[in-house]
């Protein structure tokens, strides 16, 4: 029997069932999931082979040495026909991911908006929703549709809109649908929370904050591992938070959502035992990252932990894999991907005021894909996690206050 329960994220809330694809729409979504898997697994493996056998040796011949960084690999790969075909297909699959869920969401949006409104105005709520009509969405988010998602995270087309939340939530299910991780109850937040528990069984967090929580998909699983923890999530975009709040209430999860910028929150000093994020830091510049780390230090309690799951930085990957990961910077409207990956994270964390000795970085397996024993062995530093890629493992870093 698996050690992994279905968990909150594996469940469909009543709110989730307010939208459903038709049979044709579902077939299209399944096709897109499988197309993505083919591109990201089979074709990606072939492309690495093309580099190893053809392009890499050409670089070596021309330079008298191997490529030293992602940019050198990129320059060599740009004219390569396999890369060009792969890149075009990947871009297309990204667009198809979102467009495969749009018809269903356009049809069911009135029901979703109504349900979210009812949740937000209900007399009895488990958690809460606090929006800030004066919030300035960071300009970088207004300049392009982040990861090609139509309208980006912030757009609102009607009062109390939740469309961005719905497109993100259902679109990411298509995005990851070819990989079986969700079905196996794994996932990012579950893996991080289990890691924190395995690394320090006496750690009993009372309050947790997820930065850039989007629709809460990587917040809710913390509550399965730490059920007594009071959970908070912040994001700059209202349509995501309305959706997140309605979904959490419908699942019976107590989460306090508020519209805030992670660079400067209104939480008092020493408020949280955990300040965490997932897939968050690659969204902005190094200057913003520094302010986010400083703010995390301020609002963490002494002994509390800051933990971020992110793309592994350049220092953890070979030049080819760095080139591969940085694709999003050039073609997926993720302008800061490569800049984030080039950071010296230890330096940034220490620069924000954390003690150097308290910094940690580790690759952990996806909780759903290894045995409980292997997972604990990695958390204790006795074993290596599988290589990063396609959700097999996650890169974490952070520091204790
Ligand atoms: C890629 S998404 C994060 C995904 C989410 N953590 C998850 O695992 O499902 C990045 C999120 O960060 C939010 N964001 C970007 N800049 C922010 C900031 N300065 N403060 C708070 N949220 C921000 C965006 O609105 C978006 O929802």
pTM listed for this prediction: 0.95
Query: In this structure, which residue's CA is closest to atom 27 in ligand 1?
Result: 214
Residue 295 in this model has a pLDDT that exceeds 50: yes
Query: In this structure, which residue's CA is closest to atom 14 in ligand 1?
Result: 212
- What strand order describes the sheet that includes 393-400? 128-130, 255-259, 230-235, 207-211, 272-278, 300-310, 393-400, 359-365
* pLDDT cut 70: percent of the chain above it: 96
Structure confidence at residue 4 as a pLDDT band (50, 70, 90): very low
pLDDT, mean of residues 335-358: 97
Residue 340 in this model has a pLDDT that exceeds 50: yes
What pLDDT score does 184 carry? 46
Task: Determine whether domain 1-401 maps to CATH 3.30.70.580.
Answer: no
What pLDDT score does 11 carry? 66
Least confident of 158-167, 200-209, 381-390: 381-390
Radius of gyration of the chain (CA): 21
Residue 7 in this model has a pLDDT that exceeds 70: no
Residue 180 in this model has a pLDDT that exceeds 80: no
Kindly list the domain boundaries of the chain, sorted by start residue. 1-401
Q: H-type helices in 100-212, by residue range?
A: 102-121, 139-143, 163-176, 188-199
pLDDT, mean of residues 30-46: 96
pLDDT, mean of residues 197-211: 95
* Six-digit token string for 192: 């991080």
- The 8-class DSSP code of residue 19 comes to -
> CB neighbours of 27 closer than 8 A, spacing ≥ 6?
none
Please give the number of the atom of ligand 1 that sits closest to the Cα of 188: 8
Pocket lined around ligand 1, Cβ cut-off 6 Å: 138, 153, 211-214, 217-218, 234-237, 240, 261-263, 278-280, 283-284
Rounded to whole angstroms, the Cα distance separating 392 from 242 reads 31
> CB neighbours of 254 closer than 8 A, spacing ≥ 6?
126, 127, 223, 230, 231, 248
What pLDDT score does 281 carry? 97
Per the model's pLDDT, the better-predicted residue between 286 and 6 turns out to be: 286
Please give the number of the atom of ligand 1 that sits closest to the Cα of 240: 27
């Amino acid at each position: 029997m698996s050690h992994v329960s279905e968990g909150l994220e594996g469940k469909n809330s009543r709110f989730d069932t307010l939208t459903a694809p038709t049979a044709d729409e579902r077939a299209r979504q399944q096709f897109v999931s499988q197309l993505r898997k083919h591109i990201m697994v089979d074709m990606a493996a072939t492309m690495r082979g093309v580099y190893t056998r053809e392009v890499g040796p050409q670089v070596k011949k021309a330079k008298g040495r191997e490529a030293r960084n992602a940019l050198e690999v990129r320059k060599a790969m740009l004219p390569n026909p396999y890369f060009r075909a792969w890149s075009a297909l990947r871009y297309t699959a990204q667009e198809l991911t979102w467009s495969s869920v749009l018809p269903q969401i356009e049809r069911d949006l009135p029901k979703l908006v109504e349900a979210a409104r009812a949740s937000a105005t209900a007399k009895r709520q488990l958690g809460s929703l606090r929006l800030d009509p004066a919030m300035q969405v960071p300009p970088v988010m207004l300049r392009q549709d982040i990861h090609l998602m139509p309208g980006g995270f912030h757009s609102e087309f009607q009062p109390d809109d939740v469309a961005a939340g719905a497109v993100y939530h259902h679109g990411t299910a298509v995005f990851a649908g070819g990989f079986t991780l969700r079905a196996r109850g794994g996932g990012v937040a579950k893996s991080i929370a289990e890691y924190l528990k395995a690394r320090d069984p006496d750690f009993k967090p009372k309050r947790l904050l997820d930065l850039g929580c989007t629709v809460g998909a990587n917040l809710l699983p913390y509550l399965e591992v730490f059920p007594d923890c009071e959970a908070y999530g912040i994001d700059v975009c209202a349509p995501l938070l309305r959706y997140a709040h309605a979904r959490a209430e419908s699942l019976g999860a107590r989460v306090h959502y508020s519209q805030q910028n992670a660079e400067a929150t209104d939480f008092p000093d020493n408020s949280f035992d955990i300040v965490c994020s997932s897939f968050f830091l690659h969204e902005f510049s190094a200057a913003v990252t520094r302010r986010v780390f400083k703010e995390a230090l301020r609002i963490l309690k002494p002994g509390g932990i800051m933990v971020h799951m992110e793309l592994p930085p350049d220092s953890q990957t070979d030049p080819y894999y760095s080139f591969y990961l940085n694709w999003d910077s050039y073609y997926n409207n993720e302008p800061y991907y490569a800049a984030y990956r080039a950071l010296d994270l230890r330096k940034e964390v220490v620069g924000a005021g954390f003690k150097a000795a308290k910094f940690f970085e580790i690759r952990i397996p996806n909780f759903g894909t290894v045995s409980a024993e292997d997972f604990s062995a990695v958390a204790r530093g006795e074993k290596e996690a599988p290589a990063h890629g396609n959700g097999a493992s996650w890169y974490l870093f952070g520091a204790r206050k």
